[in-house]
Amino acid sequence: MPTDATPDPHTDPLAFGQRMQILRTRRGMSRPVMAGLLGMSPSWVKQVERGEIGMPRLPIVLRIAEVLRVRDLSDLTGDQSAPVELFVGPGHSRLPAVRDAVNALTLDGDREAPSTEHLAARLARAWAARHRSANHREILGELLPDLIRDAQLAVRQSDSAASRRAAQAVLSEVYSLSQFFIAYQPDGALLWRVAERGMVAAQESEDPHAIGVAAWLAAQAHRDTGPDHFDAADAMAMEALSHLNRFLPDANDRVRAIAGALQFEVGYTAARRGETGAAWGWWDKAKATARSLPADYYHPVTSFSQAIIGAHAVTVAVELRAGGESVRQAVAADTAAIPSRPRLARHRIEEARAYHLDGQAETALATLEKAHQAAPETIKYNGYARRIVLEEAESKYPARRRRAAALADQLGLLAA
């Protein structure tokens, strides 16, 4: 092995600081950038990495794990005896069935494919069921295997160019729905495979809405991979917006909504970079697009709507690490107008991040309890919620520890 190869933090008993440096370097993150995200000085980061300062207390360790997008806490601490996955939730019991449907080779067989109209109606019912359900992954896990196989078969059996494009549009959205089930589960390769297939199907369909949705999800996947993929996330969103612009003057509500969702994604990535002006500038563009939609419109895939813009403002402020502003936006947001239970739970988690960032730990835990009431499967798979709960389980205040421990038990974080 070359002597200048980057060591693997799993193979040798490396110190905490060495692991932190390796993982930071792999993310392509500089010490000053990491220090800024942690609220520490670059010299502090350097001292930790050199072993001049020992492993910090758990709250700081959890913040480091969030900044570095460490999926398993033991990758950072070196303690393999009790691994804790932070940004990947537990594998759902229906994940193998969905994986098998994605991986299957669907040829003609001995049955006729459903019509694209029938598939589109089933897909619409699946989206509606997801928004209504507290345990939305259970619902999707039950519906997806047959939907995936039937949509693949519809493409295979298309007998004209027009019918094939229509079938590809439905198949693309089925893959989009699949990504909501697969995300934050322990199969990153499957998530990327579905994202890529969704994009291919969307391009084959030539449907602007399908292309926009596929790009929206792909941009998120790139951004969540880490800072070194932020440029790819922006490129995906910007190219899709450029494509959609030609359709916008005469576009229907759902095409305008996906354009607005993409505008917000660019702002979200800017916020992750710490670019305040760009982040709020793109949020303003998304807000203007939302105002062009009917007041009661709600996009079934992205949740983009007038109702969601306030929730998006909380996310921007939180990602910019602006505690006071994020709380102000959280107070201003109209949660009663969010009709989707999983999206409401996601917003509650963002509110909890705002309160926690502002030093209001009790309010953050109370808000996470509301998220759990709205949709337990959303908070169970959310790394930010898990990090806050674990951090507060180490609080010096007994009442707060008990409250956090109860939530940790509900999320399965205390399992042996």
For 274, the 3-state DSSP assignment is coil
**Unique residue bearing structure tokens 């880490």:** 226
What is the pLDDT, as a whole number, of residue 86?
A: 53
Is the predicted pLDDT of residue 416 greater than 70, yes or no?
A: no
Is the predicted pLDDT of residue 195 greater than 60, yes or no?
A: yes
Using alpha carbons, select from 202, 300, 203 the residue that is nearest to residue 254.
300
What is the pLDDT, as a whole number, of residue 131?
A: 95
Q: How far apart are CA 270 and CA 276, in angstroms?
A: 7
CB 349 within 8 A of CB 386: no
Q: How far apart are CA 99 and CA 379, in angstroms?
A: 23
For 72, the 3-state DSSP assignment is strand
Is the predicted pLDDT of residue 414 greater than 70, yes or no?
A: no
What is the pLDDT, as a whole number, of residue 82?
A: 46
Tokens of 369: 């309890």
CB 179 within 8 A of CB 217: yes
Average pLDDT over residues 392-413: 88
Over its C-alpha atoms, the chain yields an Rg (Å, rounded) of 22
Average pLDDT over residues 327-350: 93
Q: Which amino acid is at 7?
A: P
Domains of the chain: 16-77 (1.10.260.40)
For the CA atoms of 182, 188, 194, 200, what is the dihedral angle to 10 degrees? 150
CB 379 within 8 A of CB 372: yes
Average pLDDT over residues 115-141: 95
Query: How many alpha carbons fall within 13 Å on the CB side of residue 59?
Result: 11
pLDDT > 90 in the chain, percent: 64
Q: What is the pLDDT of residues 344-377, one digit of tens each?
A: 999 999 999 999 999 999 999 999 999 999 999 9
Q: What are phi and psi of 91, to 5 degrees?
A: -70, 125
Q: What is the pLDDT of residues 264-286, one digit of tens each?
A: 999 999 999 999 999 999 999 99
Q: 194 to each of 116, 124, 285, how far by Cα in Å?
A: 20, 19, 30
pTM: 0.80
Is the predicted pLDDT of residue 1 greater than 50, yes or no?
A: no
Query: Helix-strand-coil percent breakdown of the chain, rounded to 5?
Result: 70, 0, 30
Q: 85 to each of 79, 80, 238, 269, how far by Cα in Å?
A: 13, 12, 32, 24
Which parts of 228-360 fold into alpha helices (H)? 230-245, 253-273, 276-291, 309-319, 323-332, 341-357
Q: Which sign, positive or negative, has the C-alpha torsion 332, 337, 342, 343?
A: negative
Is the predicted pLDDT of residue 329 greater than 60, yes or no?
A: yes
Q: How far apart are CA 116 and CA 88, in angstroms?
A: 34
What is the residue-averaged pLDDT of the chain? 89
Q: How far apart are CA 40 and CA 6, in angstroms?
A: 26
Average pLDDT over residues 398-412: 90
Query: Using 50, 70 and 90 to split pLDDT, how confident is the model at 9?
Result: very low
CB 286 within 8 A of CB 315: no
Using alpha carbons, select from 228, 320, 313 the residue that is nearest to residue 274.
320
CA 263 to chain centre: 16
Using alpha carbons, select from 86, 76, 180, 56 the residue that is nearest to residue 384.
86
More confident: 59 or 197: 197
Using alpha carbons, select from 287, 258, 283, 290 the residue that is nearest to residue 269.
283
CB 131 within 8 A of CB 339: yes
Is the predicted pLDDT of residue 90 greater than 90, yes or no?
A: no
CA 110 to chain centre: 39
Is the predicted pLDDT of residue 316 greater than 90, yes or no?
A: yes
Average pLDDT over residues 111-124: 94
Q: How far apart are CA 67 and CA 322, in angstroms?
A: 16
Average pLDDT over residues 145-161: 94
Q: What is the pLDDT of residues 95-107, one digit of tens each?
A: 999 999 999 887 6
The answer for residues whose C-beta is within 8 angstroms of residue 82's C-beta and 6 or more apart is 74
